[in-house]
Amino acid sequence: MGPLAGENLAPRFPERFLARMQAWLGSEVEAFLQALASPYRTGLRVNTLKISPEAFQIRSPFPLSPVPWCPEGFVVEDLEARPGLHPYHAVGLYYLQDPSAMAAAILLDPQPGEWVLDLAAAPGGKATHLAARMQDTGVLVANEIQPQRATVLALNIERLGITHAILTNESPPRLANQWEGLFDRVLVDAPCSGEGMFARNPEAIRTWSLNRVRRSAALQKAILLEAARMVRPGGRLLYATCTFAPEENEEVVEAFLRARPDFDLVDPMRHPAFDRGHPEWIADGDPRLIRTVRLWPHRGPGHGHFYALLQRAGESRPHRPKPEADLPGRAQRALEAFWTETITQPLPEGGLILQGDQIYWTPMAPILWRGLRVLRPGWWLGRLCQVRFEPAHALAIALSAKAVHRVLDLSLDDPRVTAYLQGYPLEGSWESGWALIALEGFPLGWVRAERGRLKNMYPRHLRAIGWWKTQASKDLQ
Ligand code: SAM
C-alpha cells in the first residue's frame, strides 16, 4: 500500500482503519486525522432544569464557546480548566458531554409529558439531556445493562436534580417482553467500536479491529430490534453510535428497515455541519439511508457520531395506568411530619411508595415495572427510620432552595462551601431539625441542626470526588 494521507499522524491509528477512512473520505482524510489528533476540548451542557444557558454564561468560571446545534451546549475553551471538579458541577448546573452527543436529544426531540426510554443510558449524558428537554415531566426510563455503570448513571441523574426518571439494570429483551409498544420515543445509544472516541480514548485505538466492528454490528442489530418492540405506533426511535464504520451505522439501519418495514427513516433537523448518511459505502445501500446523519470531528466541535431517526407507522396511545399513593400509614405520617417542618412546597401527589425502608415518588405505576431490576423507581425522597423520616441527598438536590424553610445560602468564595463538601460540620444556631446548604441558591445538600452545630449530611461517597478534595482554588479563577 502506498503512503497514506496524514501519514505523519498515522502511527497512532491502526493501518486498516486509516486505509478504510481514506477510501471513504478521500481528500478530507487529512483534516479528519488532524482533528482526531488534536487536544480534546470538553463540551459542557447547561442543565436547564436548574439554570438558563444565558444565566450560566454570566457566571461561568470557564471561557465558553457555543455548540452550533445545541442552544444549551458549549465548548470549554480552556484546556487546563477542570470543570468536573468545580462546586457548580456538584450542584448540577451542568453535565460534561461531547458536543456531537448533544445532538441526540435535539434529534429525538422528546416533549414534556411523554414517555421516553433510553435503553443504553450510562453514564447518563444523553438521558439527562432528554430529561431536561422534557422539563422533568412524563416518564424517562434510563436503562443500563452493566451494574457498575448503572451506579454512575444513578449518581448523574441525582446530581442533575431529575425526579421523573426510573433507573433499570436490565437486558433489552427482558424490557421488551414487558414494555411492548409503551414508549413515545426510544433512544438506542449502542455499544460500538468507538472510533469516534479515538481522540480521547487510547483504549479504543488499542482494541480496534475489523472483527470488533463486525461483532459490534451484530449486537447493534439485535439491540435495535428489541428497542423497536417498545416504540408505540406513531412513536420514534433514534439509533446512535460514536463510530465511523458503515457496518455499524448504515448497514445496521439497512438491516433494520428490511426486518421492520413498519418503520421508516425520518429526515431530521439538519445543521450545516451535519453530513448525510452514505448508502454508497455499503453493498446495495437503500437510498433512504441518506436521511441518516453523520457528525465528523473535522466539521464541528465534537467527536464522530452517527444518528438514524426512525418512525413507526400508525398511531396509538398505550394504556398507562397512573401511579397511586401506596405508603403505609406509619411511613406517610413520618414523611408528612418532616415535610411540614422542613419544606414549603406541597408533597408530590400520588406515586409515593415504600421499598424496603426507602421512600420514593414514582412517575410510573409499579405494576409496570414489578419483576424488573429497578435501581431507582423514581425520585428518592429518603429513609424511614422507625417513626422518623431521614431525607435523601436526591431530595435536596431536586428541590428549589426557596422550597425549604431553613437555608444557609453560601457564595462561591465562602470557605464553608469547601468545608461542607469535605464533610465538616458547620456552625449554626438553628433549633434542632433539618436545613439546606445552598450555593448561590442551588441546593448542595442537607445539614441537621443539633446543639448549635450543623451536622454535615453530604453523602460520604461524594466527598471524595470533587475539587474540594484537591483544594485547587486556582480552578475557580
Ligand atoms: N448513552 C450513554 C450516554 O450518553 O452517557 C452512553 C452509552 S454507551 C455508548 C453504550 C452503553 O451500552 C454502555 O453503557 C454499555 O454498558 C451498554 N451495553 C453494552 N452491551 C449492551 C447490550 N447487550 N444491551 C444493551 N446495552 C449494552
- 305-312 vs 231-241, strand pairing mode: antiparallel
What is the reported pLDDT for 167? 98
Residues with CB under 6 A from ligand 1: 101, 120-126, 144-146, 149, 172, 189, 191, 219, 223
Least Cα distance to 238 among 153, 133, 309 occurs for 309
Judge: domain 400-468, CATH 1.10.3720.10.
no
Per-residue cell: 423: 464533610
- pLDDT for 2 equals 43
- CA 235 to each of CA 165, 225, 260, 266, 472: distance values in angstroms, whole numbers, following the listed order: 19, 15, 14, 11, 48
Domain definitions of the chain by residue range = 100-312, 321-399, 400-468
Residues 6+ apart with CB under 8 A from 9: 33, 34, 36, 37
CA gap 89, 286 in Å, rounded: 44
Mutate to test the pocket of ligand 1, among 70, 106, 146, 148 (most ligand atoms within 8 A of CB): 146
Which of 96, 128, 145 for a ligand 1 pocket mutation test, highest count of atoms within 8 Å of Cβ? 145
- Helix, strand, coil percentages for the chain (3-state, nearest 5): 35, 25, 40
Best probe residue, ligand 1, of 100, 144, 168, 305 (max atoms within 8 Å of C-beta) = 144
Q: Is 457 helix (H, G, I), strand (E, B) or coil?
A: coil
Contact assessment for residue 412 and residue 352, using Cβ atoms and an 8 Å cutoff:
no
Q: Which CATH superfamily is domain 100-312 in?
A: Vaccinia Virus protein VP39 (3.40.50.150)
Distance 196 CA to ligand 1 centre (A): 15
Q: What single DSSP character describes residue 187? A: E
Give the C-alpha separation, 43 to 87, whole Å. Answer: 17
Q: Which three cell numbers stand for residue 71?
A: 442552544
| C-alpha angle 119-128-235 in degrees, rounded to nearest 5 | 50
- Has 242 been annotated as catalytic? yes
What residue has cell string 409498544? 181
Provide the pLDDT for residue 37. 86
pLDDT of 292: 98
The CA 185 to ligand 1 mean position distance, Å, reads: 17
Q: How far is the CA of 445 from the centre of ligand 1 (A)?
A: 30
Partners of 168 in beta bridges: 143, 374
Cell of 4: 497514506
Ligand 1 closest atom vs CA 123: 5
C-beta atoms surrounding 23 within 10 Å: 10
Tens-binned pLDDT, residue by residue, of the chain (477 aa) = 444 444 455 447 899 999 999 999 999 999 999 999 888 899 999 999 999 999 999 999 999 999 999 999 999 999 999 999 999 999 999 999 999 999 999 999 999 999 999 999 999 999 999 999 999 999 999 999 999 999 999 999 999 999 999 999 999 999 999 999 999 999 999 999 999 888 778 888 889 999 999 999 999 999 999 999 999 999 999 999 999 999 999 999 999 999 999 999 999 878 999 999 999 999 999 999 999 999 999 999 999 999 999 999 999 999 999 998 889 999 999 999 999 999 999 999 899 999 999 999 999 999 999 999 999 999 999 999 999 999 999 999 999 999 999 999 999 999 999 999 999 999 888 889 999 999 999 999 999 998 889 999 999 999 966 655 554 433 332
CA of 154 to the centre of ligand 1 (A): 14
Closest C-alpha to ligand 1, atom 10: 191
Q: Which residue, by CA, sits nearest to atom 14 of ligand 1?
A: 122
Amino acid at site 267: D
Nearest ligand 1 atom to alpha carbon 194: 9
Distance of CA 121 from the midpoint of ligand 1 (Å): 6
